[in-house]
Structure 1
Amino acid sequence: MKRYTVIFFLILNVLSGFSQSYVGTVVNQDSGKTIDGVSLCVLSSDSLIISYAITDQKGRFEIKVPETKLQPALLSFQALGFKRKTVKIVPGQSEYNVSLQEEVYQLQAVKVSAQRIQQKQDKLVYSVAGFAQPQDRSIADVLAKMPGIEVKPDGMISFQGKNINKFYIEGMDLMNDRYALASNNISRKRVKAVEVLQNHQPIELLKGKLFSEQAAINLILEDDSKMNLVGTADVGLGANADDMLYSNRLLAMLFKKKYQTLSLYKNDNTGLDLYNEINPIRLSDLLEKRTTEEDALISSVTTQRPDIDQNRYRFNRSNLVATNHLFQLAPKSTLRAQVSYFNDVAERNNWVETDYLLAENASGALIESHSLHERRNRLDASLNFEINRKELYLKNESKGSLDWLDSKSNTVWNDNRLQLSSSPDRRYFSDILDIKLPLSNDKYLSVSSINGYNYHPQELSLYSGENQRVDYTSFQTYTTAAFRHKFFGMYANYQVGFQGLFQSLSAQIGNNETLPSQRFNRYLLHIGLGLNYQTSDFQVEAEAKLQRMDIRFRQPETLQRKGEFYPDAKLFLKYTFSGTSFIYKYDLSIRQAVGRFEGFIFRISFHLLSHNSR
């Protein structure tokens, strides 16, 4: 009984804390509809706030006024988009229905300027609007102005002196090693921001296991450039004293969450080298010896190049067609297809006159004129399938290229004339397979297989006036299996592998065979151990291998064999102190056997053991 008595008096106490309350509804004066979210206050005669409330979804309100010395005098109603209204409180009246009149607010102009650079952990975000100039056309033009980023003439991009390892568009790797095509052709107006992903490890499985000093670039597009097919057509026409000039482009792009494509056609005769846009930027592959593509045995005919921009002396007719497609088959699983065709007819001309002052006031003059005509057709195609997950990394890339090149030159020294021609044609096909499997948090197994085929049917004109034809083929295979794990703060890498090189070469002048078919085979087995340790200011990499090399050189009537064991050791030390790096390198390795021509072109040089440190 005492408990209920206490509760009863508490309720009375609470109720007695409010002297009175007001209720009502707020509506739109023009439409008659109720208004929710209206702020209302009970004010004293001195405009002091006594109590406060907000209308509900039906426009109704109930505001209670606590006991106070201040006497309620006014009800004030205020809402965004409506004129403020004040109502006098009538003694004894508790219900007030109010209508508000709509009002349009004129806002002053506000200039919003975004930060040019933002730091987000290991990510730098550059505002394109903050760095773009009116004369900039492509995103490459803007990238070149951003601090720490350098765009080289061949299209390669570096950050803080190190080449980037990936070029993403909306987080997807559409262009692979041909990103110059995208950076040179995507308008800077299509890009909102550029992200620099510092210390970027592109393989998910290796994040936290293998440190990377390279950065990646990611383009963040404007909203109207995503999910819609975007096209661009540029037409450039002009004239000089001899010919009409043109530089035209058709570009189509589509960037969706699961599909991206970029295709274009270009033609030009102003001296620009369009092939730079599709020339693969594969520096990392070259450093890791992951490419099997070989240079031509002979080079194209060339002339002396003046030290001026080539579009001042190069006359060309170039056509470029390229299409790139990326499909996301599943989360972290993609299929990429790329095809390009390049056609170019180019001429270079230069003329030099040199006057010599001789003894006894005698003089002489040497007049040199050089002209070069070059025709090139190249077809490239590649197909790439990739699974990039923490539990599996699998990548298979197949590519091929067909390259036809004819070059002719005409050189005249006073009255002496020399004509040369060469056709260093090339065919190349390759397949690269990479598999990485995690065994535990700090252990993983990797298997890599690289295979490549080169065929070079090449011709070269000789001073005697005859032509020499060379047929060269090679097949390379390189397969390794490695186990990597962590102990005592460092990583150990155990590796076993096989490398094979199979070359064949023959040559003839006219109808006479000058070099019968010769074959060179090399087999290399190796087993090795590598150690890697790295902190923020210190890095050490050490590798030691034991290799067995077997070489066979077959001529029509002889067969030479050679087999020996060879060591291979490398050491890399790097220490950074106050922004300055100190580097030491040591290398004990076998130079690769080289097949080349001597005199009438051919010479084989066997392995050579070299020992150097720096």
Structure 2
Amino acid sequence: MKNHLCFLFIVLFSAVPAQSLIQGKLLNSEQQPISGVSVSISPEDSDDILAYAISDKNGGFSIEVNSEISTLKISIRSMDYAMVSEVIENKNQTLNFYLTEQAIELKDVVVKASPIRQRGDTLNYSVNTFAKEHDRSIADVIARMPGIEIQSNGQILYQGKPINKYYIDNLDMLEGRYNLANKNLAHKEVASVQVYENHQPIKILDSLVYSDRAALNIKLKNSFTFTGQAELGLGASPLLWDANITPMLFARNKQMLTTYQTNNTGNNVAEQFTNFSLSSLLNPVRINLEKKDWVGIQSLSTPNFPDKRWLDNNIHATSTNFLYKLKKDYEVKFNISYLNDYQKLKGATTTRFYTANDTIQLNETQFNQLYFNSLDANLILHKNTKKNYLKNTLELQGFWDGERGNILNNNENIGQQVENHYFKLANTLTSIIPIGKQLMNLNSYVGIDKTPQNLRIDPGQFINLLNQNMTYDLTTQNVAHQQFVTTNSLGFNKGIKHFTFSPSIGFQLMKQSLNSSIFVDETELTESVFNNDLDWTQTKAFAQLLTEYKKKKWRLSLMTPVIYSNYNISDDRNELGQNINQLSFQPSFNVYYEPSAFWKFNIGSNYSESLGDIHQLHYAYLMNNYRNIQKISAPLPESQIMSYRVGMDYKNPIKSLFWNIQYSHSNLNNNLLYATQIQDNGATEITAIQEDNKQLSHQVSSRISKYFGRLGANLSLKGSLGYNFSEQVINQILTDVKSQNMGFNAKIEKDISEALNVEINSNWTFFKNSLQNQSNAWITRQEHQFKLNAYPKENQFVGLTTEWSRNDVLKSNKDYFFADLLYRYTWKKANLDFELQWNNIFNTNNYSILSIDTYSYVETNFRLRPSQVLLKVRFSL
């Protein structure tokens, strides 16, 4: 593997052409420097720009040219000075130019702004260039900006990586829940979308700690903006409603966004409440509490196309977000959200379990009812300046969820019922202050949570294990999980010439308890093997040094943490326990190289060791759902992971072209092998065996996007290729499990005329697996979407969307066709939109998909929403 990585590294870096450095100064007739002047390099006989720069405040410019051409043309352009153009040799040199002032008389012209402009590490996308007449939110516009991608859940990627911040006028009010603004802020209020490359969110660390992630800033047209939207829709088949009231206020010293949304049309507004914040990578043992489910009903695999086609919902969601700037650069933020949703899912599944010498088939018809209630509140005090940093976050979170399910399993009717509650209270503090010529960094996290859950199955299951092979009416699984976590660290940041040293020390304490019991009918099983009484104490101490090197176009970072861990685990009822001490060294190394403003290269490796969590160790049986019960009475899982990555990015804002490619590989060694026993009715019992085993994965992905200004077209292509290998014991036979996947996406948007626009979006996916060298057939899936956007008159819009998909299922290919129609009339004087939506015109009511697990194929026939008509009225606030 090391040889492969070296080869990739040599190939990538040998692909960079020979470089020459051309630098100098621009001066006027009085020997004064001239800033803000464009200096470009092109071939002698062409106007194609090879590289460019903007003169700085001292009049200086520096351009690296990657070309084998012997002679070049340097051009200097400014509105206030006469143009300069000279032919020069392609070699390292210093050139000074004296510019002559010249007034330029402009003829009557139509000026078109450049779609993308770059200054330093900031890209400015012109909203007017990428916006279409039928767009409403800023998300509609961002989705077609080259280099930027919005995933189906709303997460924003730049050059294939998630952004680390979403600002509105350089303020972060929403703290990662940026979908609330992205999908509700009218694009007409936005002047430009800015991308801050290599963005370090903490200003005091900006020149010390390197970041390879970008941030997005929504730059509004006005310094004071009161905006938002209100819409109301009513429809039929059945009675439908869709309402959204979202006022927003953006001012110099305060921001506010409040929303109330409700619908039963399949519009999944819960995605707008998703938090996409990226956790800090500087703390090697950072743990944030989050909700995890111990039990659940048997779920249906949901289709991978828009929610509006299948989601049978009844949702009410509200959120209030407020930011106010105090004196001395402090900010106070308050975010609170509440969600209530009731969903119904209907479908049928055919599951084939593949073992080394047999195939087991399970047929299920399912009707699930899901009840979601959640509350999330944050109070934040924040200060972020070049001199110090403070952020304290107090978080309260609660879930009161329930699930109901009925399954017809091979002609047996099974009822399921789950109560799933969760409560969390946590506080996070980060403070960075200067002490002498260095920075002191303090981090503290304290949190508690509770997870009481209950699962009831009717009739009783696992009769051999739970009731001496006698049928019974009801199985009840009770689970109570509690935990307390605190993580604290103290560190320093010190810059010495080209180096930055960031040593830190810290500790973590985690205390957990897990109690569970199983009832057969109304009788509790008193045997210890059915009752977990687990106490878990985990302590960690760590010391680490982050060393970074920066010189010219190079960035190197080396993280060297040493972690001491102690796990004290006991279950008095089962008279079992473990006490484990581990000392580990877990280094990571990254190299970033930027030979020019166009190219970026990265290569990195990481080694980590981890011990399992409480979900991977319990000495008594615990029933997760009606056909899965497991006991993990084994040593604590231990894993050693070695991972590598290598990639490169290319961007040319002048040509609106963005491209990247990334390869990653991981090698995982485990001390436990999980044995799965599949019964004839599909029920599985999972146990753990102490035996070394490994998992391997390879992944390659690439994407390219290009905007053709003259053609009025956008083009994007994406591709991926993956391979995974693991070992499992299935029905007492050690089995090698291999899987492969491939995917390709092509999307093009084209203006046919001023009154007609088309969009084509195509996806192909291929996957297969094999067990013990017995290969199963390739599964293919393809989806093709065609949109026709027409403007018959100035104030009217007609949108026709068609989707065709083909899925391989267990026995045949299945084709599906959907069509939607939208008519919109805009009353501009009153700023009103009237919309008529007709979704699923042909009333396609079923959809089959095939998903692959490590040892099973699952075909799901899903019940879709019927054809429906909705009349909407929308106005801006």
**TM-score, length-normalised on structure 1?**
0.74
Please say if residues 548 and 558 of structure 2, whose CA atoms lie closer than 8 Å, have aligned partners that are also in contact.
Answer: yes
Please say if residues 370 and 412 of structure 1, whose CA atoms lie closer than 8 Å, have aligned partners that are also in contact.
Answer: yes
Inter-partner Cα distance in structure 2 for 1:607 and 1:380: 33
Secondary structure in 1 aligned to 2:128? helix
% identical equivalent positions: 27
- Give the match for residue 256 of structure 2: 261
Q: Aligned in 2, Cα 1:453/1:536: closer, same or farther, shift over 3 Å?
A: farther
Alignment of 1:343-362 (within 5 A): 343-351=340-348
Inter-partner Cα distance in structure 2 for 1:151 and 1:536: 33
Offset of 1:516 from its aligned partner?
A: 5.2
Please say if residues 262 and 325 of structure 1, whose CA atoms lie closer than 8 Å, have aligned partners that are also in contact.
Answer: yes
Inter-partner Cα distance in structure 2 for 1:300 and 1:536: 57
Inter-partner Cα distance in structure 1 for 2:561 and 2:121: 36
Aligned residue identity for 1:238:
G
Offset of 1:490 from its aligned partner?
A: 1.9
Inter-partner Cα distance in structure 2 for 1:542 and 1:611: 17
Secondary structure in 2 aligned to 1:202? coil
Alignment of 1:197-596 (within 5 A): 197-223=196-222, 226-227=223-224, 229-240=226-237, 243-285=238-280, 289=286, 291-299=288-296, 301-351=298-348, 368-413=364-409, 415-441=411-437, 443-462=438-457, 463-464=460-461, 465-487=474-496, 489-510=498-519, 512=524, 514-515=530-531, 517-535=533-551, 537-556=553-572, 560=577, 562=579, 564-574=581-591, 576=593, 579=599, 581=601, 583-596=603-616
Inter-partner Cα distance in structure 1 for 2:198 and 2:600: 19
- Give the match for residue 134 of structure 1: 133
Inter-partner Cα distance in structure 2 for 1:379 and 1:245: 26
Secondary structure in 2 aligned to 1:452? strand
Please say if residues 185 and 228 of structure 2, whose CA atoms lie closer than 8 Å, have aligned partners that are also in contact.
Answer: no
Aligned residue identity for 1:129:
N
Q: Deviations over 1:61-97 (max 9, x none)?
A: xxxxxxxxxxxxxxxxxxxxxxxxxxxxxxxxxxxxx
Secondary structure in 2 aligned to 1:480? strand
Aligned residue identity for 2:586:
A
Aligned residue identity for 1:394:
L
Inter-partner Cα distance in structure 1 for 2:208 and 2:375: 39
Offset of 1:541 from its aligned partner?
A: 2.7
Inter-partner Cα distance in structure 1 for 2:606 and 2:260: 48
Q: Aligned in 2, Cα 1:208/1:149: closer, same or farther, shift over 3 Å?
A: same
Offset of 1:475 from its aligned partner?
A: 0.9
Please say if residues 291 and 422 of structure 2, whose CA atoms lie closer than 8 Å, have aligned partners that are also in contact.
Answer: no
Q: Aligned in 2, Cα 1:377/1:609: closer, same or farther, shift over 3 Å?
A: closer
Q: Deviations over 1:348-389 (max 9, x none)?
A: 1124799xxxxxxxxxx9975321111110111000101112
Structure 1 residue runs of 5 or longer lacking an equivalent are 1-107, 355-364
Q: Aligned in 2, Cα 1:307/1:494: closer, same or farther, shift over 3 Å?
A: closer
Q: Aligned in 2, Cα 1:352/1:155: closer, same or farther, shift over 3 Å?
A: closer
Aligned residue identity for 2:176:
D
Inter-partner Cα distance in structure 2 for 1:577 and 1:258: 37
Please say if residues 259 and 326 of structure 1, whose CA atoms lie closer than 8 Å, have aligned partners that are also in contact.
Answer: yes
Inter-partner Cα distance in structure 1 for 2:542 and 2:434: 24
- Give the match for residue 668 of structure 2: none
Offset of 1:327 from its aligned partner?
A: 0.6
Secondary structure in 2 aligned to 1:485? strand
Q: Aligned in 2, Cα 1:367/1:494: closer, same or farther, shift over 3 Å?
A: closer
Offset of 1:533 from its aligned partner?
A: 2.1
Q: Deviations over 1:320-372 (max 9, x none)?
A: 10010001012421000001100100011124799xxxxxxxxxx99753211
- Give the match for residue 33 of structure 1: none
Aligned residue identity for 1:409:
G
> More strand by proportion, 1 or 2?
2
**TM-score, length-normalised on structure 2?**
0.53
Secondary structure in 2 aligned to 1:140? helix
Offset of 1:295 from its aligned partner?
A: 2.0
Secondary structure in 1 aligned to 2:170? coil
Residue-pair matches, total: 492
Offset of 1:270 from its aligned partner?
A: 1.4
Q: Deviations over 1:525-576 (max 9, x none)?
A: 2223332224565443323333332222233365856353502221323354
Please say if residues 296 and 455 of structure 2, whose CA atoms lie closer than 8 Å, have aligned partners that are also in contact.
Answer: no
Aligned residue identity for 2:518:
I
Inter-partner Cα distance in structure 2 for 1:592 and 1:525: 17
Offset of 1:230 from its aligned partner?
A: 3.0
- Give the match for residue 90 of structure 2: none
Aligned residue identity for 1:445:
M
Aligned residue identity for 1:567:
S
Q: Aligned in 2, Cα 1:413/1:610: closer, same or farther, shift over 3 Å?
A: closer
Q: Aligned in 2, Cα 1:109/1:570: closer, same or farther, shift over 3 Å?
A: same
Q: Deviations over 1:479-529 (max 9, x none)?
A: 011122233622222221111110011112346264253211011122233
> Please, what is the CA RMSD of the aligned residues?
2.8
Please say if residues 497 and 527 of structure 1, whose CA atoms lie closer than 8 Å, have aligned partners that are also in contact.
Answer: yes
Secondary structure in 1 aligned to 2:587? strand
Inter-partner Cα distance in structure 2 for 1:201 and 1:311: 38
Inter-partner Cα distance in structure 2 for 1:116 and 1:128: 8
User: Which segment is superposed worse, 487-496 or 429-438?
Assistant: 487-496
Aligned residue identity for 2:567:
I
Inter-partner Cα distance in structure 2 for 1:109 and 1:546: 68
Aligned residue identity for 2:275:
P
Inter-partner Cα distance in structure 1 for 2:500 and 2:600: 25
Aligned residue identity for 2:367:
S
- Give the match for residue 23 of structure 1: none
Please say if residues 518 and 531 of structure 2, whose CA atoms lie closer than 8 Å, have aligned partners that are also in contact.
Answer: no
Alignment of 1:101-250 (within 5 A): 113-223=112-222, 226-227=223-224, 229-240=226-237, 243-250=238-245
Inter-partner Cα distance in structure 2 for 1:483 and 1:184: 40
Please say if residues 300 and 423 of structure 1, whose CA atoms lie closer than 8 Å, have aligned partners that are also in contact.
Answer: no
The reply on whether 1:599 has 2:626 as its aligned counterpart is no
Q: Which has the higher contact order (CA 8 A, sep 6+)?
A: 2
Aligned residue identity for 1:587:
Y
Q: Aligned in 2, Cα 1:444/1:313: closer, same or farther, shift over 3 Å?
A: same
Inter-partner Cα distance in structure 2 for 1:493 and 1:231: 44
Inter-partner Cα distance in structure 2 for 1:423 and 1:174: 34
Inter-partner Cα distance in structure 2 for 1:606 and 1:367: 36
